[in-house]
């Protein structure tokens, strides 16, 4: 009897705890934690919409972060939390700017020499790190040297490679400190896009990390198990708390260096809270009950459902076409397995895959509109080259397009020498081989699996015996980069800011590791690949922005004509959010909703 | 007893070695490694990837070599750093163990507290409507997939708002809550996942309990006890239950063994930050140090769980003698 009473009381307590309701963080109007010290003498003047202090924004994070060490972080979760919020580069990039472009940020200005080989950056005076120590050119030089150190495992080093010297060692731009607030880079080759490279220098403090770095212990710094107050950066927020697998709490950086036109210092928000939720359905449920404020990615298949949640308090916005691509690529690798000396691709198949008419035929055979309407729930647009229409800065419409035309596909197959000689409904080549192709993709991504199944059916309709074969992710990467044991596979790219030629180098160049059809070539195996290599080089060395756009448009055109990747669709993106934030301007480029986190505020 | 315990624990050592070796062999043999997602990033070069491969000894395909790189430091207590997260394996596992134990422990208690009375009732009222109802509940628990059940619960929580939609506690306000509020908040978050795991777990115990009870109740000594005038209730709880529960003790030991391993899918859907999600992520990403350390821990739990089951049985059942 007593046990039953205890059970009932316990249950009542638990239920009553729930009835207290969810969180409601009020807008106080006063910053908490308050700012420290004075605004720097050169404070960045923010001239946009002013806000009020207080409040928090709760976001979902689909994966746990892996480290606080921004130089070594290479996963999206760590990037989502640390980039822009906790750390800054010498220059900023305004994803949602009009147009999206570089912004002085921590510099008052930069200067580019006429030959694009000397770059000078003038830093703001009086800026402090999130621990109160002063920031100056020494930190800039220090961070660059850490990045260039071979013993530090960072992905940022590669963007600075300018070539190799006689010994085969990589050459990098040299850096010099002209005075406490001026830094100069001397490049060996002209690079008009050097700002894109500088946008990888996430600044870290010399006064904290020089010692560990010099003693070879840089890999041990800024670990997840360290005290969050050691994670010192120049971003508008600093790490307050990290609980593994649950949340990361960022609080205001009291030393942040931006001021609005009312003299108020930024950021307005007191806190940013990232809640780790792995399952998409759970994210939606949490958003529905109000535990999460912003859902930064609404999947195409969920859009219709989430849109019904719209009300006075909840808004669901279509934010435009994504920068993400979806494509399939055929194996055009002419090499052989070094151990068995067998060619990676059977000679008759290789001949076919390397025939541009064949690839163009395949492109005509794919019904992109239907693909967008079914697999992407009508939330995608056809895509014909590697830059999507969502990239308003670089997209060129002057590309070869392939509206769905199975008749034209069959014509081109015939021109490539394929015929159905035995009447089984499938085409054969001149030697009688039935054209059978296995289309791979990673089985864990259901959208990709549906995409290649759709493409396989399209190809079967025009006489190609195509099989959709999803495989484990590890196996796919192995095939893509080591064994080259595949016919074709489907994948996609998700670019990071800033968009542009530099970020796509590894995909476009014939020597690139992600040049999916035939990676890491010693020299280009076709004229068009040689042409692209040459254009990319010209883009780097041309100081004229208009010229670079023109050349990049040419690359897009060649890509669409010769189809190293057959691009399929670009999805449309949507963001769902509580209608209580000001200055919330999500864009399809990561970090979507928080690229201007210091400007966000909670409306009274 | 002491020699028995020592012998059993010593026997665990070769078991751990064999299992970890096999695990390592499979990790080496299966294609790809944790660097695959990094490889796919267009901004990252081949040099960086080879540098990482060398640092983590992933460039060798010799199982013995790779095993040794893990074994030697592990024997000295250093289980290394996780590949994917910049934290020691020990700290990663340590944080999560408590969370998982909380969940599976409470689910275990729930399932037993529910299963034993239900099993008894089903046996006593066998073939009547109560038995059929209890049978239905246990088959429900046996057949419902845990992912589906968890999702149903989350939907229920989202619709009614009576319970939170996943998670272990209120992430936004945790730092401003006092000890009592935190305790109650955690309990509130615990209810739904505990029900999911508990319902699925109790199903087999109910059936076991029922059949054991039926067999025990048909024994002569029960009839004797009733004939001597003992009340029905007393006969059931004092005499029948004690004997019927024997096989279940062994099962209890096994449940101890799976305490840490069993909640994976439920944890995943509820976003419960436990060991299951850690191991699952480590396996998917081929984070070898974490996988190896988890395997060691799970084998140990299995050995200890079985050991406890055997010892308990010996204590409870005087007919059994341990050698």
- Tens of pLDDT, residue by residue over A231-273, are 999 999 999 999 888 899 999 999 999 999 888 899 999 999 9
Map residue B6 onto helix, strand or coil: helix
Average pLDDT over residues B73-79: 86
d(CA A65, CA A196): 25
Of A555, A486, A550, A546, which Cα lies nearest the Cα of A519?
Answer: A486
Map residue A59 onto helix, strand or coil: strand
Q: Do A503 and B38 lie within an 8 Å CB cutoff?
A: no
Element (H, E) at A380: strand A380-382
Q: Do A64 and B96 lie within an 8 Å CB cutoff?
A: no
Question: Which tokens in the block code for residue A229?
Answer: 């107050």
Nearest residue in B to A494, CA atom: B41
Same domain, A60 and A109: no
Residue A283 lies in a domain: yes
Residue A102 lies in a domain: yes
Question: Which tokens in the block code for residue B225?
Answer: 């006890």
Quote the mean pLDDT of chain B. Answer: 84
Which residues in chain B have Cβ-Cβ distances shorter than 8 Å to A504? 42
Residue A8 lies in a domain: yes
Boundary (domain end) residue, out of A146, A174, A209? A209
d(CA A107, CA A119): 13
Question: Which tokens in the block code for residue B169?
Answer: 């506690």
A159 close to B (CB below 8 A): yes
A392 close to B (CB below 8 A): no
A166 close to B (CB below 8 A): no
Question: Which tokens in the block code for residue A592?
Answer: 């979507």
Same domain, A302 and A274: yes
Does position B122 have pLDDT exceeding 60, yes or no? yes
Q: What's B81's DSSP letter?
A: B
pLDDT for A2 equals 59
- Tens of pLDDT, residue by residue over A88-132, are 999 999 988 888 889 988 999 999 998 889 999 999 999 999 999
Residue A45 lies in a domain: yes
Under the banding of pLDDT at 50, 70 and 90, the label for residue A365 is very high
- Angle at which helix A2-19 crosses helix B179-217, to 10 degrees, equals 140
Which residues in chain A have Cβ-Cβ distances shorter than 8 Å to B88? 225
Strand pairing partners for A176? A184
Give me the residue from A225, A286, A475 closest to B91, CB to CB: A225
Give me the residue from B88, B157, B273 closest to A225, CB to CB: B88
Per the CB < 8 A criterion, the answer to whether A221 and A212 are in contact is yes
Does position B261 have pLDDT exceeding 80, yes or no? no
pLDDT for A23 equals 41
Does position A22 have pLDDT exceeding 50, yes or no? no
Does position A538 have pLDDT exceeding 50, yes or no? yes
Smallest CA–CA separation between B321 and chain A, in Å?
Answer: 36
More confident residue, A479 or B173: A479
pLDDT for A21 equals 42
Average pLDDT over residues A49-66: 89
Smallest CA–CA separation between B8 and chain A, in Å?
Answer: 35
pLDDT for B93 equals 87
Residue A547 lies in a domain: no
pLDDT for A20 equals 45
pLDDT for A79 equals 85
Map residue A109 onto helix, strand or coil: strand
Interface of A with B in 416-455 (CB under 8 A): 444
Of A551, A546, A479, which Cα lies nearest the Cα of A517?
Answer: A479
Q: Do A474 and B84 lie within an 8 Å CB cutoff?
A: no
In angstroms, the Cα distances linking A207 to A121, A212, A232, A240 are: 21, 10, 10, 21
Does position A24 have pLDDT exceeding 50, yes or no? no
Highest mean pLDDT of the ranges A60-64, A142-146, A340-344, B312-316: A142-146
Question: Which tokens in the block code for residue A321?
Answer: 């076409």
Interface of A with B in 298-357 (CB under 8 A): none
Under the banding of pLDDT at 50, 70 and 90, the label for residue A8 is low
Nearest residue in B to A481, CA atom: B39
Which residues in chain A have Cβ-Cβ distances shorter than 8 Å to B191? 14
- Angle at which helix B89-124 crosses helix B288-316, to 10 degrees, equals 40
Q: What percent of chain A has pLDDT over 70?
A: 96
Domain that holds residue A195: 93-209
Quote the mean pLDDT of chain A. Answer: 89
pLDDT for A18 equals 46
Map residue A294 onto helix, strand or coil: strand
Does position B26 have pLDDT exceeding 50, yes or no? yes
Same domain, A120 and A164: yes
Nearest residue in A to B53, CA atom: A153
pLDDT for B42 equals 60
pLDDT for A9 equals 63
Q: Do B32 and A159 lie within an 8 Å CB cutoff?
A: no
Q: Within chain A, how many helices (H) and strands (E) appear?
A: 16, 25
Range with lowest mean pLDDT among A168-172, A308-312, B305-309? B305-309
Element (H, E) at B142: helix B129-143
d(CA A542, CA A552): 11
Boundary (domain end) residue, out of A209, A237, A261? A209
Nearest residue in B to A220, CA atom: B86
- How far, rounded to the nearest angstrom, does the alpha carbon of residue B300 sit from its chain's CA centroid? 13
Average pLDDT over residues B62-79: 87
Range with lowest mean pLDDT among A311-315, A332-336, B257-261? B257-261
Interface of A with B in 510-549 (CB under 8 A): 512-514, 520
| Share in percent of chain A as helix, strand, coil (round to 5) | 30, 20, 50
Give me the residue from B52, B268, B274 closest to A278, CB to CB: B268
Q: How many domains is chain A partitioned into structurally?
A: 2
Residue A401 lies in a domain: no
Quickly tell me which residue has 């969180």 as its tokens: A23
DSSP track, A537-594: HHHHH---HHHHHHHHHHHHHHHHHH-SSEE-EEEEEEEEEETTEES----SSTTTT-
Of A361, A560, A548, which Cα lies nearest the Cα of A462?
Answer: A361
Average pLDDT over residues A20-34: 64
Smallest CA–CA separation between A36 and chain B, in Å?
Answer: 23
Nearest residue in A to B165, CA atom: A286
pTM as predicted: 0.82
Smallest CA–CA separation between A474 and chain B, in Å?
Answer: 4
Same domain, A119 and A51: no
Per the CB < 8 A criterion, the answer to whether B299 and B15 are in contact is yes
Give me the residue from B45, B157, B281 closest to A158, CB to CB: B45
Average pLDDT over residues A354-366: 95
Average pLDDT over residues B110-120: 88
Q: Taking the CA atoms of A475, A480, A481 and A484 in sequence, report the sign of the dihedral they define.
A: positive
Same domain, A81 and A228: yes
Instruction: Give the CATH number for residue A175.
Output: 3.90.76.10
The length of chain A is 604
- Tens of pLDDT, residue by residue over A205-220, are 999 999 999 998 888 8
- Tens of pLDDT, residue by residue over A470-495, are 998 878 888 888 889 999 999 999 88
d(CA A72, CA B86): 10
Smallest CA–CA separation between A501 and chain B, in Å?
Answer: 11
Same domain, A106 and A191: yes
d(CA B31, CA A472): 9
Does position A5 have pLDDT exceeding 80, yes or no? no
Q: What percent of chain A has pLDDT over 90?
A: 57
Terminal CA-CA length for chain B: 7
A23 close to B (CB below 8 A): yes
Strand pairing partners for A567? A327
Neighbours of A291 (CB within 10 A): 24
The Cβ-side half-sphere exposure at A458, using a 13 Å CA radius, reads 24
Query: What beta strand segments (E) does A143-257 contain?
Result: 163-164, 170-171, 174-179, 182-186, 237-243, 247-252
Neighbours of A234 (CB within 10 A): 26
More confident residue, A20 or A41: A41
- Angle at which helix B275-285 crosses helix B89-124, to 10 degrees, equals 120
- How far, rounded to the nearest angstrom, does the alpha carbon of residue A531 sit from its chain's CA centroid? 27
Residue A214 lies in a domain: no
Same domain, A24 and A108: no
d(CA B85, CA A75): 10
Same domain, A164 and A200: yes
- State the complex-level ipTM: 0.71
Quickly tell me which residue has 């198949």 as its tokens: A349
pLDDT for B69 equals 86
Q: Taking the CA atoms of B1, B3, B7 and B10 in sequence, report the sign of the dihedral they define.
A: positive
Q: Do A244 and B84 lie within an 8 Å CB cutoff?
A: no
Classify burial at B228, counting beta carbons within 10 Å of its beta carbon; exposed 0-12, middle 13-18, buried 19 or more: exposed
Give me the residue from A18, A170, A246 closest to B163, CB to CB: A18
Same domain, A99 and A197: yes
pLDDT for B88 equals 83
Question: Which tokens in the block code for residue B49?
Answer: 């990837």
Question: Which tokens in the block code for residue B198?
Answer: 């508990």
Same domain, A187 and A235: no
Q: Do B85 and A66 lie within an 8 Å CB cutoff?
A: yes
Interface of A with B in 468-497 (CB under 8 A): 472-475, 477-478, 481, 491, 493, 495-496
Helix/strand/coil (H, E, C) string of A129-174? Answer: CCCCCECCHHHHHHHHHHHHCCCCCCCHHHHHCCEECCCCCEECCE
Instruction: Give the CATH number for residue A315.
Output: 3.40.190.10
Which residues in chain B have Cβ-Cβ distances shorter than 8 Å to A25? 172
Smallest CA–CA separation between A288 and chain B, in Å?
Answer: 7
Question: Which tokens in the block code for residue A354?
Answer: 């390397």
Which residues in chain B have Cβ-Cβ distances shorter than 8 Å to A474? 30-33, 36, 286
d(CA A473, CA B286): 11
Element (H, E) at A190: none
Same domain, A205 and A154: yes
Residue A434 lies in a domain: no
Same domain, A203 and A274: no
d(CA A365, CA A472): 27
Q: What percent of chain B has pLDDT over 70?
A: 97
Nearest residue in A to B265, CA atom: A279
Per the CB < 8 A criterion, the answer to whether B260 and B93 are in contact is no
- Tens of pLDDT, residue by residue over B221-249, are 888 888 888 887 777 777 777 777 777 87
d(CA B283, CA A342): 33
Q: Are strands A314-321 and A465-471 parallel, antiparallel or unpaired?
A: unpaired
Q: Do B86 and A503 lie within an 8 Å CB cutoff?
A: no
Boundary (domain end) residue, out of A176, A209, A242? A209
Q: Do B171 and A478 lie within an 8 Å CB cutoff?
A: no
Quickly tell me which residue has 């541009």 as its tokens: A356
d(CA A310, CA A281): 18
More confident residue, B57 or B189: B189
Per the CB < 8 A criterion, the answer to whether A413 and A463 are in contact is yes
Question: Which tokens in the block code for residue B108?
Answer: 């275990």
Classify each residue of A582-595 as buried b or exposed e, where b means 16 or more C-beta atoms within 10 Å of its C-beta. Answer: ebbbbbbbbbbbbb
């Amino acid at each position: 009897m007593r046990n039953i009473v205890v059970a009932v009381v316990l249950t009542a307590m638990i239920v009553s705890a729930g009835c207290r309701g969810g969180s409601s963080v009020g807008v106080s109007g006063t910053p908490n934690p308050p700012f420290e010290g004075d605004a720097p003498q050169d404070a960045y003047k923010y001239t946009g919409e002013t806000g009020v202090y207080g409040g928090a924004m709760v976001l979902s994070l689909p994966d746990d972060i892996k480290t606080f060490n921004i130089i070594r972080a290479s996963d999206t979760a760590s990037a989502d939390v640390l980039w822009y919020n906790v750390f800054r580069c010498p220059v900023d990039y305004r994803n949602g700017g009009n147009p999206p472009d570089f912004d002085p940020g921590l510099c008052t200005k930069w200067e580019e020499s006429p030959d694009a080989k000397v770059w000078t950056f003038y830093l703001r005076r009086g800026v402090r790190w999130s621990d109160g120590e002063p920031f100056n050119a020494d930190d800039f030089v220090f961070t660059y040297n850490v990045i260039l150190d071979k013993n530090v495992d960072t992905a940022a080093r590669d963007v600075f490679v300018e070539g190799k010297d006689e010994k085969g060692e990589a050459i990098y731009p040299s850096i010099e400190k002209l005075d406490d607030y001026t830094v100069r880079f001397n490049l060996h080759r002209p690079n008009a896009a050097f700002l894109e490279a500088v946008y990888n220098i996430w600044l870290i403090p010399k006064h904290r990390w020089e010692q560990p770095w010099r003693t070879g212990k840089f890999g041990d710094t800024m670990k997840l198990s360290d005290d969050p107050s050691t994670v010192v950066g120049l971003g508008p927020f600093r790490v307050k708390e990290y609980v593994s697998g649950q949340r990361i709490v960022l609080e205001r950086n009291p030393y942040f260096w931006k001021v609005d036109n009312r003299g108020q210092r930024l950021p307005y928000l007191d806190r940013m809270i990232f809640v780790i939720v792995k399952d998409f359905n759970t994210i939606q449920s949490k958003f529905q009950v109000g535990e999460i404020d912003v859902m930064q990615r609404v999947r195409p298949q969920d859009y219709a459902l989430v849109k019904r949640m719209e009300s006075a308090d909840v808004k669901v916005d279509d934010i435009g076409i994504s920068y993400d691509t979806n494509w399939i690529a055929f194996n055009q690798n002419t090499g052989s397995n070094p151990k068995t000396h067998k060619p990676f691709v059977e000679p008759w198949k290789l001949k076919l895959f390397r025939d541009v008419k064949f690839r163009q035929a395949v492109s005509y055979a794919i019904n992109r509109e239907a693909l967008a309407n079914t697999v992407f729930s009508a939330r995608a647009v056809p895509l014909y080259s590697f830059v999507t229409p969502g990239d308003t800065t670089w997209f060129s419409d002057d590309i070869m397009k392939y509206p769905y035309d199975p008749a034209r596909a069959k014509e081109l197959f015939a021109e490539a020498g394929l015929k159905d000689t035995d009447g089984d409904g499938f085409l054969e080549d001149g030697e009688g081989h039935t054209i059978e192709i296995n289309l791979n993709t990673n089985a864990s991504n259901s959208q990709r699996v549906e995409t290649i199944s759709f493409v396989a059916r399209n190809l079967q309709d025009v006489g190609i015996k195509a099989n959709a074969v999803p495989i484990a992710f590890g196996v796919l990467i192995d095939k893509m980069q080591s064994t080259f044991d595949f016919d074709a596979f489907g994948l996609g790219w998700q670019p990071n800011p800033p968009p542009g030629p530099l970020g796509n180098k590894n995909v476009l160049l014939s020597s690139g590791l992600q040049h999916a059809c035939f990676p890491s070539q010693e020299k280009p195996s076709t004229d068009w690949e040689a042409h692209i290599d040459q254009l990319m080089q010209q883009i780097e060395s041309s100081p004229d922005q208009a010229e670079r756009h023109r050349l990049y448009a040419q690359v897009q055109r060649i890509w669409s004509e010769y189809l190293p990747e057959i691009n399929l669709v670009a999805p449309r993106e949507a963001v769902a959010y509580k209608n209580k934030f000001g200055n919330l301007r999500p864009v399809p480029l990561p970090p979507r909703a928080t690229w201007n986190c210091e400007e966000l505020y909670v409306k009274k | 007893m002491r020699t028995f315990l020592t012998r059993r624990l010593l026997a665990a050592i070769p078991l751990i070695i064999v299992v970890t070796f096999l695990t390592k062999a499979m990790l080496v043999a299966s294609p790809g490694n944790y660097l695959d997602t990094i490889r796919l990033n267009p901004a990252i070069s081949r040099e960086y990837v080879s540098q990482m491969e060398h640092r983590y000894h992933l460039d060798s395909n010799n199982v013995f070599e790779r095993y040794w790189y893990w074994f030697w430091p592990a024997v000295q207590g250093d289980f290394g750093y996780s590949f994917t997260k910049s934290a020691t394996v020990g700290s990663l596992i340590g944080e999560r163990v408590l969370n998982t134990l909380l969940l599976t422990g409470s689910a275990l208690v729930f399932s037993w507290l529910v299963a034993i009375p239900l099993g008894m009732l089903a046996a006593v009222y066998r073939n009547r409507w109560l038995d059929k109802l209890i049978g239905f509940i246990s088959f429900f628990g046996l057949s419902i997939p845990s992912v589906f059940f968890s999702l149903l619960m989350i939907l229920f929580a989202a619709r009614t708002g009576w319970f939170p939609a996943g998670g272990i506690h209120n992430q936004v306000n945790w730092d401003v809550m006092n000890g009592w509020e935190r305790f109650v908040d955690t309990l509130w978050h615990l209810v739904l996942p505990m029900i999911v795991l508990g319902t699925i777990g109790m199903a087999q115990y109910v059936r076991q309990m029922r059949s054991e009870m039926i067999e025990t109740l048909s024994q002569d000594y029960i009839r004797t006890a009733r004939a001597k005038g003992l009340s029905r209730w007393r006969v059931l709880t004092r005499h029948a239950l004690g004997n019927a529960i024997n096989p279940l003790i062994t099962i209890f030991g096994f449940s101890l063994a799976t305490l840490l391993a069993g909640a994976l899918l439920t944890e995943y859907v509820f976003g419960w930050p436990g060991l299951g999600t850690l191991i699952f992520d480590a396996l998917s990403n081929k984070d070898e140090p974490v996988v190896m350390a988890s395997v060691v821990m799970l084998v140990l739990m299995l050995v200890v769980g079985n050991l406890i089951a055997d010892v308990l049985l010996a204590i409870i059942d005087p007919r059994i003698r341990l050698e």
